[in-house]
Amino acid sequence: MVLTELPYSQGVCAFYRWSNLVVTHPVLVSLFPVFKQHQGTGRRRMKALMVKKSRIVAFFVIIALLGGIISQTVMNTAKGINLGLDLQGGFEILYEVNPAEDGAEITEETLQSTVSALNQRVNVLGVSEPNISIEGEDRIRVQLAGVEDQQTARELLATEADLSFRDVDDNERLSGEDLEENGASVGFDQSNQPVVTVTLRDGNAFGEVTEDIINDYSPPNNRLVIWLDYEKGDSFVEESQQEEPKYLSAPTVNQPLYHKNIQIEGNFELEEAEFLAEVLNSGSLPVELEEIYSNAVGASLGEDAMEKTIFAGFIGIGLILAYMMVYYRFMGVVAAITLSAYIYIVLTIFNWMEGVLTLPGIAALILGVGMAVDANIITYERIKEEIRSGRSIMSAFKSGSRRSLSTILDANITTILAAGVLFYYGTSSVQGFAVMLIVSILTSFLTAVYGSRLLLGLWVKSRIFNKKPRVFGVKESEINEL
Amino acid sequence: MNFKTNKRVRFVKHRKKFFLFSLVFTLAGIILLSTAGLNLGIDFESGSKVEVLANETLTEEEVYEQFAEAGSGYEPDDVTLAGDNNEMAYASFIGTLDQAEIAEIQNYFVDQYDNEPSVSTVSPQVGQELAKNALISVLIASIGIIIYVSIRFQFLYGVASIVALLHDAFFIIVVFSIVQFEVNVPFIAAVLTIVGYSINDTIVTFDRIRENMNEKEEIRTFDDLAEVVDVSLNQTLTRSINTVLTVVFAAVCIFLLGGEAIRSFSFALVIGLIAGTYSSLFLASQLWLVWKWKSLEREKNKPKKEDPEDLEPEV
């Protein structure tokens, strides 16, 4: 076996250092110097047979910390998770992107720009967290959770990108068609500020427009306002008062520009500049969106059913924890702690990845709980076996942890391999399943293997359980004397 | 589990019965699937979608009732409410409605709500593609698993674990054909979950067989090899049972207490978990035993040319 056990004492020490950095709680801080002392003297007395209380104290400090962090943040984490279409209900459209002109090709770039344009439009609708994704080589899936009105959603998405350049009185001066295809990109000016460079089809037309604006308007009204999907009644004067104006940008024109290549300056953040460039490109997109599928999705779990299911999930997890504690006694308690940490960490990571939770995602989470429990069970059964074969508690713990690691590792790697293939070849909800599964397995490996070892190790190494196999669910009569 | 032989469950002794059972089940399953088939939901079947606009708030029950009143045999597969006050409803029918049926439905709702519902056909393209991709992914994953297991264990372990995996997935599908629950996208997720569980379970069992094979000094007879498998299965039995029990707890809770929509999904999970445990104990290990013995015999009968170390399992 190539794998070696993580040097145990190192793991524990590292944790102390880490805790010292993050702990600000006065009571806990005051506890730490105590333990460090004990740890130091404890090491010198390694061979002494007395119970080392410091490790037990460390165990409770870790539990208190964990409990504190989880109880403080779990509500926010749970609320922050985006529910998928199947859980929340909404509207879904799958488009096939076709080139507007025969012979033209759909590239990755065109798809990206189309997604940006759709995103911009969905934002107008006020949908929170639209999910717009590229599928395959020429498809875009738009999922609008919470949108029930098919008509509005379809109209909004299906209108061709309508890019226009208007003066401050909203008269159209130029349109998206005047831009060179894929001619917008992000550059930097002399002071390293991001700018958007645009290539026009006809430099003269732009020159005339800019000349008119300079002649007709005086600063600060000498602007050429860029709109996406301008609607009758929209007004620059009104929108400029808004915090989030509907127009994209309102660059000022300082001189007539008889050029094909122009530069839009502004106090852009890099991201803003990239976004504007993408939208300008999509405004001149030579694509047609053909709807190949649309579906109003009812929440398969309505609010009521969702609550029921969450309740059922809690009961299920409660039963698992209770079973573990009854069967594995003290080790079961450790398993219960690491499992709680596991669920919390998975949800946090998922939140942080801005993942969308769907029913298949919940399935993966359940499988993850199963695998985390399994890792615990495999380790504990090994430890019990080693105790039965007559080893001391300490050595049974060490060899049980070491020998179970390769089993768990092989089982986990095989499952991750399968999940990776599902992610690579699957579509939409199959991918969601795979992502959740990979996150779950990695987390469960961390909590069920290392978390369990750390916590259990603190007790075992305190020597409080020496000669007490019953704590581990092993009867004295079962032990084979060597 | 205890090492004492008298307490041991004799798995290997009954292996032929398990093979026979699985064979009969598989054949019955194939016949069942080709005759009764699956109860495919709107995700996988083409059909019609009727968009009803009412001038009042609708409930799902009302919509079902209205369709029943409109004419006999109109039972939507799925009803979705929409609009600010739920005054819209989308009713999906499996199978395309013909002109006469459309006219009958439209006339009824014009009388009811003074509004002609629009009828469109829906294609199951997306659902079918999802299922197709899932199937292809599982097959590709199987090859990947065989390669990984061949490197870490041995080729035969890999093949046996894939047989178990496909068995479990097939088992759920057959059970769904028997009970005729609706097959929808969450069902696919449940099958994938079981695929993951099955692999995990089988590998853990094989890991112990591999370990015991290393400790065993010499294997002369079939019984020697069978002994290794039996001991290994018994050593991992407690773990197998405890693990499946805990996951079944969660699945059964969701089945009993969760919402209606998730019921067939959790049912598939429970069935698959049982199949997964059965296949790692009674199928995968026994298959490996039979195949391994054959390959050992083949090696023995060969003239002694190759390095005899090849007989030893790799680690």
| Range A186-211 burial, b when 16+ CB lie within 10 A, else e | beeeeeeebbbbbbbeeeeebbebbe
Residue B132 to chain A, least CA–CA distance (Å): 9
The CA distance from B238 to the nearest CA of chain A, in Å, is 8
| Torsion sign over Cα A179, A183, A186, A189 | negative
User: Do B267 and B176 sit in the same domain of this protein?
Assistant: yes
Question: A with B: how many residue pairs have Cβ under 8 Å apart?
Answer: 222
Picking from A1, A312, A370, the nearest residue to B253 by CB comes out as A312
Contact B207 A426 (CB under 8 A): no
Residue in A closest to B161 by C-alpha: A414
- Closest partner residue to B190 (CB to CB) among A293, A363, A437 is A363
Question: Which residues of chain A are within 8 Å of residue B3 when distances are taken between CB atoms?
Answer: 480
Looking at the structure, tell me whether residues B52 and B159 fall in a common domain: no
- Asked if pLDDT for residue A37 goes beyond 70, the answer is no
- Total domains in the fold of chain B: 2
Of A12-21, A56-65, A124-133, A413-422, the range with the lowest mean pLDDT is: A12-21
Q: Are residues B184 and B68 in the same domain?
A: no
d(CA A7, CA A448): 17
List the 401-420 stretch of A: residues with Cβ below 8 A of B. Answer: 406-407, 410-415, 417-419
Say yes or no: B53 and B25 in one domain. no
Q: Where residue B73 sits, what CATH number does that domain have?
A: 3.30.70.330
- Same domain, residue pair B19 and B54: no
Selected residue with higher pLDDT from A238 and B207: B207
Q: Are A217 and A167 in contact (CB under 8 A)?
A: yes
Identify which of B1, B8, B12, B7 has the alpha carbon closest to the alpha carbon of residue B288. B12
Q: Which of B108, B123, B138 is the last residue of a domain?
A: B123
> What is the per-residue DSSP string for B237-290?
HHHHHHHHHHHHHHHHHHHHHS-GGGHHHHHHHHHHHHHHHHIIIIIIHHHHHH
Model confidence at A298, pLDDT cuts 50, 70, 90, reads low
The per-residue pLDDT for B170 is 93
Considering only CB atoms, which chain A residues are within 8 Å of B182? none
Where are the domains positioned within chain A? 8-84+301-478, 90-297
Verify that B115 and B240 share a domain, yes or no.
no
Q: Smallest Cβ distance to A296: which of B90, B254, B262? A: B90
Asked if B247's CB is within 8 angstroms of A296's CB, the reply is no
**B227/B143 same-domain check:** yes
> At residue A284, does pLDDT exceed 80?
no
The predicted pLDDT at position B309 comes to: 52
Pairwise CB contact (< 8 Å): B257 & A306? no
- Domain membership flag for residue B309: no
The percentage of residues in chain A with a pLDDT greater than 70, rounded to a whole number, is 76
Determine contact: A295 vs chain B, CB below 8 A: yes
Residue of A371, A419, A4 whose CA lies nearest to B203: A371
Whether B53 is covered by a domain: the verdict is yes
Does any CB of chain B come closer than 8 Å to the CB of residue A33?
Answer: no
CATH superfamily of the domain spanning A8-84+301-478: Multidrug efflux transporter AcrB transmembrane domain (1.20.1640.10)
Show Cβ contacts of residue B153 under 8 Å, excluding neighbours closer than 6 positions. Answer: A410, B206, B207, B210, B313, B314
CATH class belonging to A90-297: alpha beta
The answer to whether residue B161 sits within a structural domain is: yes
Distance in angstroms (rounded) separating the CA atoms of residues B167 and B271: 12
Within a domain: residue B310?
A: no
Whether B33 and B60 map to the same domain: the answer is no
| Of the residues B71, B95, B123, the one at which a domain ends | B123
Q: Is A133 on the interface with B (CB under 8 A)?
A: no
- Residue-by-residue DSSP string for A112-161: HHHHHHHHHHHHHHT-SS-EEEEETTTEEEEEEET---HHHHHHHHHSPP
Q: Is residue B306 part of a domain?
A: no
Residue B252 lies in a domain: yes
* A292/B138 Cβ within 8 A: no
Q: Do A426 and B239 touch (CB under 8 A)?
A: no
**B249, A320 Cβ separation under 8 angstroms:** yes
- Using alpha carbons, list the distances in angstroms from residue A66 to A77, A323, A425, B153: 15, 22, 38, 38
Average pLDDT of chain A to the nearest whole number: 76
Q: Kindly determine whether residue B254 and residue A316, on different chains, have CB atoms separated by under 8 Å.
A: yes
CB contact under 8 Å between B249 and A319, yes or no, is yes
What is the rounded CA–CA span in Å between residue B9 and residue B15? 12
| Positions of chain B with pLDDT under 50 | 1-5, 314-315
Same domain for B186 and B61: no
- Which of B136, B246, B264 to probe the A interface (max A CBs under 10 A)? B246
Q: Does A317 touch chain B (CB under 8 A)?
A: yes
Per-residue pLDDT at B287 = 93
Asked whether residue B112 is assigned to any structural domain, the reply reads yes
**Looking at the domain assignment, is residue B312 inside a domain?**
no
Per-residue model confidence as pLDDT tens digits over A167-206: 888 887 877 777 776 677 888 887 788 888 888 877 788 8
Query: So what's the pLDDT on residue B3?
Result: 45
Last residue of a domain, one of B88, B123, B158: B123
B72 with B213, same domain: the answer is no
Position with higher pLDDT, A325 vs A356 = A325
A144-157 residue pLDDT tens: 776 656 666 666 66
Mean pLDDT of A226-231: 75
| Cβ–Cβ under 8 Å, residues A164 and A249 | no
B265 with B173, same domain: the answer is yes
Domain with B55, as residue range(s), is 47-123
Residue in chain B closest to A475 (alpha carbons) equals B2
Rounded average pLDDT over A316-343: 90
**A220 prior amide bond cis, ω within 30:** yes
- Please tell me the distance in Å from B157's CA to the nearest CA on chain A: 13
Residue A347, beta-bridge partner list? none
Task: Please list the residues that pair with A263 across neighbouring strands.
Answer: A197
What is the pLDDT averaged over residues A447-476? 84
